[in-house]
């Protein structure tokens, strides 16, 4: 009784003072969290991947959402299906582009929201293989990327704007068609079809490293998709596969609400980067990956020339890794199957930087140091990587580093040793480490000059 009164009093004091007692995770949660971290270990080491959005929408050349955005019926959309013939498609060429860019894994759209399959599904004739000489584009992708030592993933849309039993909900092209809405939709029949196609992919295509489901919304979330059954089936065939978190709608959750689910291994912020490393409500790091377009859309758009610079891509990758995250960077091949030359040129530049500085990305994560004005930090073991991103006057001050524990400092891309000191211009405050990089306020190597700080 006395203990109960003490607990009540303590809770009252904590509440009154604005301090909340942190909830402890259950054993079940801890066990699942460990499995997630074990499964994603390779992925969190690799950090950088290629997203590939490719489908018949490339013929329309107005992005992968053209059918929804313009409320195009399946009958009117058929002209794009008929015209789609990617005669230049060469998965080996794509794989070499990804490898040269320093990308360690790749994810291809096996089926997007329009329902058109890029793999030879036995459950539908609405697929490329029927009009592409029987070629299975997904299989060719998997084989080519595996041959280059790149981990492979498949994107699969759990919504479907073509299937007759998928209702005109959400962003369905016929969402405003009242007559269409009067149809009878057999939801269980659609789920059987959707689950069946996923089973084909995880059963018949060899080892798949990532399954990227997209997406849940409103009440179409979690068990509406029979998500637990789906995940169990996927893991039966692919026990080591990692899954994104979009089988369940969880946008807008704060760190006090966020948890690692058994339905997904990593979170997927889109077209943006979190301000801080993502953690669950117990303070544990959550695996996450920003997916990002090179221009403005995912699928090919003939008129979108708003390309991000190689420097911005490098900075974005560093930003993600500095917060324990990954970057999945998208390319949208044209209707003939070519990755746009602008994308190839950007990736080539990024790859040149990665070839000399990838050590500061692969296997790295956040640092306990505060973000400096001149850039960002990544770290790995007893090594700190100072990413000099912005013009700086004077020495680079890695504030918070104990100079007595430093073994040496090097310019990562050249291997040159750099001088450093614990005080500069009369500044003798503890916790400063000034690295001499010359008098030019501009970084000497483009995009990101990395300083490697080794500790004793």
pLDDT for 148-186, tens place per residue? 999 999 999 999 999 999 999 999 999 999 999 999 999
Q: What is the CATH number of the domain that holds 66?
A: 3.20.20.80
Helices 341-357 and 310-321, packing angle to 10 deg: 50
CB distance 111 to 119 below 8 Å: yes
Residues 330 and 379 in one domain: no
Which residue, 360, 392, 424, sits at the end of a domain? 360
3 three-class SS: helix
Residues 327 and 415 in one domain: no
Integer CA distances (angstroms), 282 to 21, 35, 285, 428, 442, in order? 11, 16, 9, 39, 42
Instruction: Determine, yes or no, domain membership for 181.
Output: yes
Q: How far apart are CA 436 and CA 394, in angstroms?
A: 8
Closest CA to 84 of 336, 331, 371: 336
pLDDT at 16 over 90: no
Span 416-432, average pLDDT: 84
Helices 91-100 and 341-357, packing angle to 10 deg: 40
Q: Which pLDDT value is given to residue 250?
A: 74
- Label each residue of 342-403 as H, E or C: HHHHHHHHHHHHHHHHHHHCCCCECCCCCCCCCEEEEEECCEEEEEECCCCCCCEECCCCCH
Q: What percent of the chain has pLDDT over 90?
A: 89
Instruction: Determine, yes or no, domain membership for 112.
Output: yes
Span 175-201, average pLDDT: 97
Span 206-215, average pLDDT: 97
Instruction: Determine, yes or no, domain membership for 221.
Output: yes
Q: Which pLDDT value is given to residue 215?
A: 93
429 or 87, higher pLDDT: 87
Span 405-426, average pLDDT: 92
Closest CA to 115 of 73, 58, 161, 175: 161
Could you report the per-residue pLDDT of 30-81, keeping only the tens digit for each?
999 999 999 999 999 999 999 999 999 999 999 999 999 999 999 999 999 9
Instruction: Determine, yes or no, domain membership for 23.
Output: no
Residues 196 and 143 in one domain: yes
Q: Which pLDDT value is given to residue 22?
A: 60
- Label each residue of 93-158 as H, E or C: HHHHHHHHCCCCEEEEEEECCCCCECCCCCCCCCEHHHHCCCCCHHHHHHHHHHHCCCEEEEEEEC
φ/ψ of residue 269, rounded to 5: -60, 140
CB distance 225 to 264 below 8 Å: no
CB distance 153 to 265 below 8 Å: no
Could you report the per-residue pLDDT of 270-279, keeping only the tens digit for each?
999 999 999 9
Integer CA distances (angstroms), 317 to 49, 232, 262, in order? 10, 33, 27
Residues 231 and 317 in one domain: yes
Residues 167 and 255 in one domain: yes
Residues 345 and 404 in one domain: no
Residues 284 and 250 in one domain: yes
Domains in the chain, number: 2
Q: Which pLDDT value is given to residue 255?
A: 62
Could you report the per-residue pLDDT of 340-396, keeping only the tens digit for each?
999 999 999 999 999 999 999 999 999 999 999 999 999 999 999 999 999 999 999
Instruction: Determine, yes or no, domain membership for 1.
Output: no
**How does residue 247 score in pLDDT terms, banded at 50, 70 and 90?**
very high
Q: How far apart are CA 165 and CA 250, in angstroms?
A: 25
Residues 340 and 406 in one domain: no
For residue 438, give its domain range: 375-455
Q: Which pLDDT value is given to residue 11?
A: 41
Residues 151 and 239 in one domain: yes
Write out the two tokens for 339: 């990755």
pLDDT at 4 over 70: no
221 three-class SS: coil
Instruction: Determine, yes or no, domain membership for 133.
Output: yes
Instruction: Determine, yes or no, domain membership for 20.
Output: no
Residues 356 and 393 in one domain: no
Q: Which pLDDT value is given to residue 231?
A: 98
Q: Which pLDDT value is given to residue 427?
A: 72
Q: How far apart are CA 90 and CA 98, in angstroms?
A: 13
Q: Which pLDDT value is given to residue 312?
A: 98
CB distance 97 to 339 below 8 Å: yes
**How does residue 7 score in pLDDT terms, banded at 50, 70 and 90?**
very low
pLDDT at 214 over 80: yes
Q: Which pLDDT value is given to residue 14?
A: 37
CA 144, 145, 149, 151 torsion: positive or negative? negative
Q: What is the CATH number of the domain that holds 382?
A: 2.60.40.1180
Q: Which pLDDT value is given to residue 10?
A: 38
Which residue, 305, 336, 360, sits at the end of a domain? 360
How long is the chain?
456
Q: How far apart are CA 357 and CA 414, in angstroms?
A: 10
Going by their DSSP bridges, the two strands 375-380 and 383-388 should be labelled as antiparallel
Residues 274 and 401 in one domain: no
- Backbone region of residue 222 per phi and psi (left: phi > 0; alpha: psi in -120 to 50; beta: other values): left
Q: Which pLDDT value is given to residue 70?
A: 98
CB distance 385 to 360 below 8 Å: yes
Q: How far apart are CA 440 and CA 393, in angstroms?
A: 8
Closest CA to 50 of 344, 451, 279: 344
φ/ψ of residue 323, rounded to 5: -120, 25
Q: What percent of the chain has pLDDT over 70?
A: 94
Q: Tell me the chain's radius of gyration from C-alpha atoms.
A: 25
Q: Which pLDDT value is given to residue 424?
A: 77
CB distance 278 to 324 below 8 Å: yes
Which residue, 360, 394, 413, sits at the end of a domain? 360
- Backbone region of residue 206 per phi and psi (left: phi > 0; alpha: psi in -120 to 50; beta: other values): left
Q: How far apart are CA 402 and CA 42, in angstroms?
A: 31
pLDDT at 335 over 90: yes
Could you report the per-residue pLDDT of 142-157, keeping only the tens digit for each?
999 999 999 999 999 9
- Class of residue 48 by CB neighbours under 10 A (exposed 0-12, middle 13-18, buried 19+): buried
Q: Which pLDDT value is given to residue 150?
A: 98
Residues 168 and 222 in one domain: yes
Closest CA to 198 of 263, 164, 144, 154: 154
Instruction: Determine, yes or no, domain membership for 5.
Output: no
Q: End-to-end CA distance of the chain, in Å? A: 54
Span 322-342, average pLDDT: 98
């Amino acid at each position: 009784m006395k203990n109960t009164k003490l607990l009540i009093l303590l809770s009252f004091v904590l509440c009154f003072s604005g301090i909340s007692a942190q909830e402890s995770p259950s054993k079940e949660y801890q066990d699942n969290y460990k499995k997630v971290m074990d499964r994603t270990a390779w992925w969190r080491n690799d950090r950088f991947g290629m997203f590939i959005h490719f489908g018949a929408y490339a013929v329309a050349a107005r992005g992968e959402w053209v059918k929804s955005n313009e409320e195009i019926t399946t009958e009117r959309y058929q002209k794009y299906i008929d015209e789609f013939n990617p005669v230049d498609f060469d998965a080996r060429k794509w794989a070499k582009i990804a490898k040269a860019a320093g990308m360690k894994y790749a994810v291809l759209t096996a089926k997007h929201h329009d329902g058109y399959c890029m793999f030879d599904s036995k459950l539908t004739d609405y697929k490329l293989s029927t009009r592409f000489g029987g070629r299975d584009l997904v299989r060719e992708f998997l084989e080519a990327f595996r041959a280059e030592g790149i981990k492979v993933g498949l994107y699969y849309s759990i919504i479907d704007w073509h299937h007759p039993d998928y209702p005109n909900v959400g962003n369905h092209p016929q969402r405003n068609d009242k007559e269409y809405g009067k149809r009878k939709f057999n939801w269980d029949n659609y789920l059987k079809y959707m689950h069946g196609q996923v089973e084909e992919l995880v059963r018949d295509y060899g080892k798949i490293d990532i399954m990227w489901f997209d997406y849940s919304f409103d009440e179409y979330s979690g068990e509406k998709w029979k998500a637990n059954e789906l995940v169990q089936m996927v893991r039966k065939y692919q026990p080591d596969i990692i899954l994104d978190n979009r089988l369940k709608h969880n946008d807008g959750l704060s760190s006090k609400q966020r948890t690692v689910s058994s339905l997904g291994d990593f979170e997927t912020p889109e077209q943006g980067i979190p301000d801080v490393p993502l953690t669950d409500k117990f303070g544990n790091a959550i695996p996450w990956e920003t997916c990002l377009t090179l221009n403005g859309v995912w699928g090919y758009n003939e008129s979108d020339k708003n390309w991000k610079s190689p420097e911005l891509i490098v900075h974005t990758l560093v930003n993600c890794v500095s917060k324990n995250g990954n970057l999945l960077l998208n390319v949208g091949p044209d209707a003939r199957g070519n990755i746009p030359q602008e994308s190839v040129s950007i990736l080539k530049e990024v790859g040149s930087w990665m070839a000399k500085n990838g050590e500061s990305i692969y296997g790295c994560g956040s640092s306990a140091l505060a973000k400096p004005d001149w850039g960002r930090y990544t770290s790995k073991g007893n090594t700190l990587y100072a990413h000099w991103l912005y013009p700086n006057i004077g020495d680079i001050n890695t504030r918070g580093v104990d100079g007595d524990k430093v073994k040496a400092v090097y310019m990562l891309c050249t291997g040159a040793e750099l001088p450093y000191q614990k005080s500069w211009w009369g500044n003798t405050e503890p916790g400063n480490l000034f690295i001499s990089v010359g008098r030019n306020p501009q970084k000497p190597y483009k995009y990101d000059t990395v300083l490697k700080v080794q500790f004793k």
